[in-house]
Amino acid sequence: MSTGVIIALIVIVIVAAVVAGAAALNPRARGALRGGGLRRRFGPEYERTVARHDGDTKAAERELTERLKRYGSLREQPLEASERERFAARWTAAQERFVDSPREAVADADRLLAEVAGARGFPDGGRYEEQLDALSVHHARHVHGYRRLHRAVHAPADGVAGSGTGNTGTEELRAAMLEARALFEGLLAPPRRKAAEPPAKESRPAPARTEGRSRLPWAVHRQHAEGS
């Protein structure tokens, strides 16, 4: 082996050692790279998890990494068109019920979300925390709506959500239901078709009825819910 080749090999080994040493001495850099990936994957859910851990980024990232390990390989099951129509009709009914019974309507929506998630292959709704964690991996942008809805349902009558009879309580319930609707629509959406597959004709869920007393200002308040 020539002297030039030997020198080149020595240089390569030295450079590799320096890079490895720098990485070992700078765990924050490694954490930043890992954290950047988690932040992109989870979006707002990343920040909420950090806040729940009182700003402890490492603890939050350990939790999110564990969620990915447990549920990252989960494959969502498709819904039949008839199932989507039934689920959509029940959500519409819950929105219409909101006029007279806000709290009961939100409870209906909460149960419906758990049922739809279970039908898509997520953990059963009876295991709410597990279901929420799994949903956060695959629907990170909208999972907080489900959390907010669930909390509103189970809040005491004098809590933030109120009894559903006062203005503040009703608006909180409405905002929670609005935010949760984004997750509901995501779960109800048909799977994406491959480019080679011809588009099939299938019926779409009917939009919410707006005649008579069922007319609700859902669209008007959507911006408020998303910004909350």
Q: In the structure, what pLDDT confidence band is assigned to residue 16 with cuts at 50, 70 and 90? A: low
Q: Does residue 196 have a pLDDT over 60?
A: no
Q: Does residue 205 have a pLDDT over 60?
A: no
Q: In the structure, what pLDDT confidence band is assigned to residue 192 with cuts at 50, 70 and 90? A: low
Q: Rounded distance, CA 192 to CA 101, Å?
A: 36
% of the chain with per-residue pLDDT over 90: 56
Return the structure tokens found at 200.
Answer: 């099939």
For 17, 82, 88, 107, the CA distances from 206, given in Å and listed in that order, are 63, 12, 7, 22
Q: Rounded distance, CA 143 to CA 133, Å?
A: 9
Q: Does residue 160 have a pLDDT over 90?
A: no
- Do 205 and 84 meet the contact criterion of CB atoms below 8 Å apart? yes
Residue 222 has a pLDDT of 46
- Do 136 and 42 meet the contact criterion of CB atoms below 8 Å apart? yes
Residue 126 has a pLDDT of 83
- Mean pLDDT, to the nearest integer, of 148-172? 67
Mean pLDDT, all residues of the chain: 77
- Mean pLDDT, to the nearest integer, of 35-44? 87
Q: In the structure, what pLDDT confidence band is assigned to residue 147 with cuts at 50, 70 and 90? A: very high
- Mean pLDDT, to the nearest integer, of 120-134? 92
Residue 29 has a pLDDT of 35
Mind spelling out the 3-state secondary structure of the chain? Answer: CCHHHHHHHHHHHHHHHHHHHHHHHCHHHHHHHHHHHHHHHHCHHHHHHHHHCCCCHHHHHHHHHHHHHHHCCCCCCCCCHHHHHHHHHHHHHHHHHCCCCHHHHHHHHHHHHHHHHHHCCCCCCCCHHHHHHHHHHHCCCCHHHHHHHHHHHHCCCCCCCCCCCCHHHHHHHHHHHHHHHHHHHHHHCCCCCCCCCCCCCCCCCCCCCCCHHHCCCCCCCHHHHHHC
pLDDT in tens, 69-93: 999 999 999 999 999 999 999 999 9
- Mean pLDDT, to the nearest integer, of 158-183? 72
